[in-house]
Amino acid sequence: MVALVTGASRGIGRACAIRLAESGYDVAVNYNSNEAKAAEVVAEIEKLGRKAAAYKADTADLKAVQGMFREVQKEFGQLDVLVNNAGVVDDAYLLMINEDSLSRSLDINIKGYFHCAQQAALKMMSKKHGKIINISSVSSVLAVEGQGVYSATKGAVNSMTATLAKELAPRGITVNAVAPGFIETEMMDAIPEDKKAEYIKAIPMGKFGSAADVANTVAALCSEAFDYVTGQVIVLDGGLSL
């Protein structure tokens, strides 16, 4: 079984790539800029006795994504799972939103997911088998000041998940999303410590999640236990959105 995880050089993507390898998948590790970190993930997976290779591609760039899927097909011969994870956050209040940042967020967080889902579906359709997992965010269902752009992109991920699930169900492909709350990765480094303490108080479980928490949910969705589940958004936030 083969999985491709986008944005797998660090954070949640890295954890998903390694967790899927532990579940028996060979893994294509996508990254955008950090070749050395992606190579470390490949080495970790190989240590687990699975095959892995790193692929540089900006998911916002359709041609680069097409090239990556061609290379993955050549190297691995099949694709069973796509984890659409590569994403960016660039918080700004409405009047401070910058045009370049807005375009980049829409291009990576929305277009990038479509690019990869399209290429994955092309491969999976022929075998009438496959799973696509989109990493969304609790910000898709919870209003967080300053996250207008980010939450709009993640809302798009949720609606795309439902539509693609309906379109691809007759082709044997399931599409689900995981919507994490606060997960301790480098993405959270920009949040000041006093703000972090405030957020923890708002989480009923009283702690942030880990990348491993998200990876375990993704691995569960990829298992047979979830074969009849499609179009769902699983919120993983310690109760934050309740």
Residues tagged active-site = 150
Name the one range near ligand NAP by CB under 6 A: 55-63, 95-103, 124-132, 215-223: 55-63
The residues near 131 (Cβ < 8 Å, ≥ 6 apart) are: 80, 81, 82, 173, 174, 175, 176, 221, 222
Site mask for ligand NAP (CB under 6 A), range 94-123, x = bound: --------------x---x-----------
CA of 168: how far to CAs of 41, 123, 129, 130, 171, in Å?
31, 12, 10, 10, 5
Q: Does 86 bind ligand NAP (CB under 6 A)?
A: yes
Q: Does 12 bind ligand NAP (CB under 6 A)?
A: yes
**163-182: which residues touch ligand NAP (CB under 6 A)?**
180, 182
Name the packing angle between helices 148-168 and 112-125 (round to 10°): 10
Q: Based on the number of CB atoms within 10 Å of its own CB, is 242 exposed (0-12), middle (13-18) or buried (19 or more)? A: exposed
How many residues bind ligand NAP, per CB under 6 A? 31
Q: Does 32 bind ligand NAP (CB under 6 A)?
A: yes
Chain contacts with ligand NAP (rule: CB under 6 A): 6-7, 9-13, 30-34, 58-60, 85-89, 108, 112, 135, 137, 180, 182-183, 185-188
